[in-house]
Amino acid sequence: MRLILGSILFLISGSLLASGLTEHEAVEQGLRHPAIVNQLDARRGIARGRVESAGRWDNPEIEYDWESLDFAGGSVDENSFLVRQRFDLAGVKRLERLSASLEMEAEEARIELTRRELVSQVREVFYSAMAAEQRQRAVERWQLRLEELALAISARVQAGDVSRYDETRVARELALLEGESLAVSSEAESARDGLATLIGQESFELLGQVLPPGAPPDSLPSLLDRHPLLDALGAEADSAAQLQEAASRERWPEVSLGLGYKESRQPGMQADGAMISLGIELPLFDRGQGRESMTKERSRLLTVERQLEERRLQVEARTILRRWRASIGAVDALDREQSQGLIGMAEAAYGAGEITVMELMDAWRAELNTQLQLISSSLAARQAYIEWQTFTGE
């Protein structure tokens, strides 16, 4: 009695400690993981830093000169202060700022792609753990039934109703099933450990079902224009085009303007006044030819890469849908097979003495394999559905 009460209390305490965990909650916890948050924030910070540093005006220069000249009648001292600033009349700085803003958009798109991949990883591990637990329960359930059969066969051997060959054969099948039970248990524990690492929670009970909801769409929707990878490549191509335009304007001269004050002292006279200086750069040697050519080719390359990536994504989307439909079809076929009630017929035939214990175990093994294949097909359908969610940003 104490043992039963202790077992009940243990189960109750375990159920209280292990809180229910849905896919949505797992994804939210995974995205809130400090390492993930810091990673995405750092990437945004780097992109913002590039925007803040791009296209800045040149810093002004402050110049001070002092001259002293000695001659027979005395000396001449001159002091001058000058503030000089370079002006971007060609608009190169503005184009560089625009290019950096487009790079920021590209980085945001790539961050969104990373976020989708992280969500996909959590979902895949979540349902892999759920499927592993279902496989574990299926094997353990048939293992218990086989243990009951082994006890019954052993009793019949003692009574002389069946041969020891049947007992040995059942014992061998039970040993094989115990090995499978250990394997699926290890798989389930590893999957739960992987999920716990991703979400930062040790104790949980998985809620939901492996088979995805609904059916795959009949046709491919127009989702490619909103795919973050295409957005990133498009923004990077536009950024390179702005840099190309900026490089082409480097052949225009830059102007430097200076304003200041000058004071001159000599025996019997002191004078002061304003100073104005004007400087014009002569673009004789470096006129941005190399940078213009490089950015032009980079823009062309990124445009071509976007076109190729769009074609690849179209093929990938069709492949995902085909794999999703095939997995759903396999699940439906296995469901129909299980609905035939073959196990009930086999057990009834064995009770009536129409089939042997070997034939009964074959029927049980076939049923177990069907259940395991049903779980695997359901997981394959879920994985295809997760890929579709990642593709569409759902």
Residue type, 211: L
Q: Find out whether 235 and 102 touch, Cβ atoms under 8 Å.
A: yes
How confident is the model over 351-370, as a mean pLDDT? 81
Summarize pLDDT for 336-356 with one digit per residue, the tens: 877 667 778 887 887 777 777
Task: Write b or e for each residue in 64-80: b if 16 or more Cβ atoms lie within 10 A of its Cβ, otherwise e.
Answer: eeeeeeeeeeeeeeeeb
Residue type, 314: Q
Greater model confidence, 78 or 166: 78
Q: Which of 72-81, 91-100, 179-188, 376-385 has the lowest mean pLDDT?
A: 72-81
CB atoms within 10 A of CB 218: 7
Is 154 a residue whose pLDDT tops 70? Answer: yes
Greater model confidence, 236 or 11: 236
Pairing of strands 269-280, 255-266: antiparallel
Q: Which of 143-147, 282-286, 357-361 has the lowest mean pLDDT?
A: 282-286
How confident is the model over 120-128, as a mean pLDDT? 92
Residue 4: the pLDDT is 39
Residue 144: the pLDDT is 86
Return the residue matching tokens 């097909």: 377
How confident is the model over 160-177, as a mean pLDDT? 77
CA dihedral 237→241→247→249, nearest 10 degrees, is -170
- Please give the mean pLDDT across all residues of the chain: 83
Can you spell out the DSSP letters for 139-206? HHHHHHHHHHHHHHHHHHHHHTSS-HHHHHHHHHHHHHHHHHHHHHHHHHHHHHHHHHHHHT-S-EEE
Residue 131: the pLDDT is 92
C-alpha 173 chain-centroid distance: 43
How confident is the model over 66-91, as a mean pLDDT? 83
Summarize pLDDT for 292-341 with one digit per residue, the tens: 888 888 888 988 988 898 888 888 888 888 898 898 888 888 888 776 67
pTM of the entire predicted model:
0.78
As a whole-number percent, the residues of the chain with pLDDT over 90 amount to 14
How confident is the model over 109-124, as a mean pLDDT? 91
Can you spell out the DSSP letters for 200-265? T-S-EEE-S-SSPSS---SS--S-GGG-HHHHHHHHHHHHHHHHHHHHHGGGSPPEEEEEEEEEEE
